[in-house]
């Protein structure tokens, strides 16, 4: 069961008995992916990684991502603002990304996140034709702007926690720095970590 103003786009999930959040990371696979995976493994937290396929090579630790129960989704090939592109180009960006990720990982792509969170009717239609579900977010950590102030990432998330929220984070050094503390703080607020039940 999904809760969103646009019924075609997921921003949060309605949980069962206990409060939960979904942790997502954009713009990888990056150099800090292994560090993120180490933290997630130590804390037993699942996550969804939305990857730009231009950054994915066979040597990246994608096998570990899947083996440890995480999900890989598409974040297009080159991270364009899709609303500035005609339908055909949007379709191509998403399709090429899905094809490359599936070819390398052998795993079916079910989820897609539009770059910058920008989408229109053409984006939704392209996603529908490609059989992927668009996933947005309810809480943005703003981690990409907080290289000098990682603690603010914590505040941006903790102050806005709500049941079922999808959290937006990125594969960045400052995110790695606060991730263990952030996971602990979220749990202390009574939330568990889950994946999309789709």
Please say if 26 is a catalytic residue. yes
SS percent in the chain: helix, strand, coil, step 5: 40, 20, 40
What average pLDDT does range 12-25 have in this prediction? Answer: 80
The mean predicted confidence, pLDDT, of the chain is: 92
DSSP conformational letter for 27: E
CA angle, 92 then 94 then 99, to 5°: 90
Please say if 79 is a catalytic residue. no
Q: Say which of 3, 170, 197, 198 is annotated catalytic.
A: 170
- Are the C-beta atoms of residues 10 and 133 closer than 8 Å to each other? yes
Structure tokens at 100: 């490359």
Burial class (CB in 10 A: 0-12, 13-18, 19+), 83: middle
Query: With bands split at pLDDT 50, 70 and 90, how would you rate the model's confidence at 9?
Result: confident
Query: How far is the C-alpha of 155 from the C-alpha of 133, rounded, in Å?
Result: 29
- pLDDT for 65 beyond 70: yes
Q: Which is higher by pLDDT, 131 or 10?
A: 131
Q: Say which of 26, 27, 75, 143 is annotated catalytic.
A: 26
């Amino acid at each position: 069961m999904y809760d969103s103003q646009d019924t075609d786009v997921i921003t949060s999930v309605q949980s069962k008995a206990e409060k939960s959040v979904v942790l997502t990371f954009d713009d990888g696979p990056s150099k800090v992916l292994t560090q993120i995976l180490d933290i997630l493994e130590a804390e037993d937290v699942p996550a969804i990684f939305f990857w730009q396929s231009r950054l994915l090579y066979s040597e990246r630790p994608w096998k570990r991502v899947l083996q440890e129960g995480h999900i890989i989704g598409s974040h297009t090939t080159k991270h364009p603002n899709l609303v500035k592109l005609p339908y055909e180009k949007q379709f191509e960006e998403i399709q090429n990304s899905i094809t490359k990720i599936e070819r390398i990982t052998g795993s079916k792509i079910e989820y897609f996140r539009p770059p910058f969170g920008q989408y229109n009717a053409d984006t939704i239609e392209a996603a529908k034709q490609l059989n992927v579900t668009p996933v947005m977010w309810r809480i943005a950590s703003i981690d990409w702007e907080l290289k000098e102030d990682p603690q603010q990432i914590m505040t941006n998330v903790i102050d806005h926690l709500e049941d079922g929220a999808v959290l937006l984070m990125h594969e960045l050094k400052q995110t790695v720095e606060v991730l263990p503390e952030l996971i602990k703080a979220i749990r202390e607020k009574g939330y568990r970590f889950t994946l999309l039940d789709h």
